[in-house]
């Protein structure tokens, strides 16, 4: 005897007029806010739009998709969301920062997501260097420890438009936050959602908190001349970190190398400093896997 599948959950659309009233200047931090029904990837779409017509995208600007069908994570991984079940947003920033300090932007986006999760009533959000936000879990998961991934961040540089010095280079920071997905709607068993953590969160409220927190953090970093420690942001990131103080394995971008060691601190440019048998090593990009202390790939120091 066959059974019909359960009906899809009824999920509310984002209220764009209300969002614009609260988030566009002068009331909020944005110069432009668009919401689309479907996007392959909000990051790809926003990067393409800014390259085609930079004058139409004053920063900061945000592009939100109700349904993302070909999202991109690190190393080209696919990330798809059911309609209206997640918060998928990409933000165009043109921060007044030295190029070597732009590595802090995905870290600050992770902090902003964690604070938005706090505000939604889900405790314990932590950041995994460089681009994940985690929630506590009852059991360990490979590469994550006692956590599950609730959000990811992807940052891409958009070259400046016009002659040299005419404008600052842009950075598009994309965030995918699992909000209302059931376990069956998540792509991997190491993921989770706010609903699975026990909270039915309003995506509009999450978006507002996230964008305000990100704008505040970037403004603080700019005011401190790119000095995350002086702005207090390095300490805030450290306090949220699920990575620092633990053995990790870092698979460097492009498969260039694999480095294992103790995650010691975040450096001035946002890189992860590892203590290895050969001394300290700074990782600026790559995938980090949390290890148990007895796990192969970690040597006690």
The CATH number of 244-290 is 2.30.30.100
CA distances for 23 relative to 18, 202, 209, 233, angstroms: 9, 16, 10, 23
d(C-alpha 155, C-alpha 107), whole Å: 10
Note the residue count of the chain: 301
Q: Does domain 16-238 have CATH number 1.20.120.1200?
A: no
The answer to whether residue 218 scores a pLDDT higher than 50 is yes
pLDDT at residue 273, as a whole number? 98
d(CA 131, CA 116) in angstroms, rounded, equals 16
Both tokens assigned to 12: 């509310």
Return the higher-pLDDT residue of 123 and 78. Answer: 123
Domain ranges of the chain: 16-238, 244-290
Mean pLDDT for all residues in the chain = 90
244-290 shares the fold of 16-238 = no
pLDDT exceeds 60 at position 112: yes
Mean local confidence (pLDDT), 173-189: 94
- The per-residue pLDDT for range 156-172, each reduced to its tens digit, is 999 766 545 446 779 99
């Amino acid at each position: 005897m066959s059974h019909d599948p359960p009906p899809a959950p009824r999920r509310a659309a984002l209220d764009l007029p209300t969002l614009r009233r609260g988030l566009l200047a002068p009331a909020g931090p944005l110069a432009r806010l668009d919401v689309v029904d479907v996007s392959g990837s909000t990051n790809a779409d926003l990067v393409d739009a800014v390259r085609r017509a930079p004058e139409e995208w004053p920063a900061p600007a945000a592009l939100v998709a109700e349904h993302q069908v070909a999202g991109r994570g690190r190393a080209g991984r696919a990330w798809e969301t059911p309609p209206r079940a997640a918060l998928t947003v990409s933000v165009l920033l043109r921060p007044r920062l030295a190029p070597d300090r732009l590595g802090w932007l995905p870290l600050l986006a992770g902090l902003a997501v964690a604070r938005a999760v706090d505000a939604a009533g889900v405790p314990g959000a932590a950041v995994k260097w460089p681009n994940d936000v985690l929630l506590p879990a009852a059991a360990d998961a490979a590469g994550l420890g006692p956590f599950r991934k609730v959000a990811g961040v992807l940052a891409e540089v958009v070259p400046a438009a016009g002659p040299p010095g005419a404008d600052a280079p842009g950075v598009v920071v994309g965030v995918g936050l699992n909000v209302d997905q059931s376990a069956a709607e998540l792509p991997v068993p190491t993921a989770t959602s706010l609903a699975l953590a026990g909270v039915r969160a309003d995506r509009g409220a999450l978006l507002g908190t996230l964008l305000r927190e990100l704008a505040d953090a970037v403004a603080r970093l700019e005011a401190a001349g790119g000095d995350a420690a002086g702005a207090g942001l390095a300490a805030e990131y450290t306090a949220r970190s699920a990575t620092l103080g633990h053995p990790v394995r870092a698979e460097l971008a492009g498969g260039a190398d694999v480095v294992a060691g103790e995650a010691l601190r975040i450096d001035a440019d946002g890189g992860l400093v590892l203590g290895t048998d050969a001394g300290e090593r700074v990782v600026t990009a790559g995938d980090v896997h949390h290890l148990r202390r007895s796990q192969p790939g970690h040597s006690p120091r």
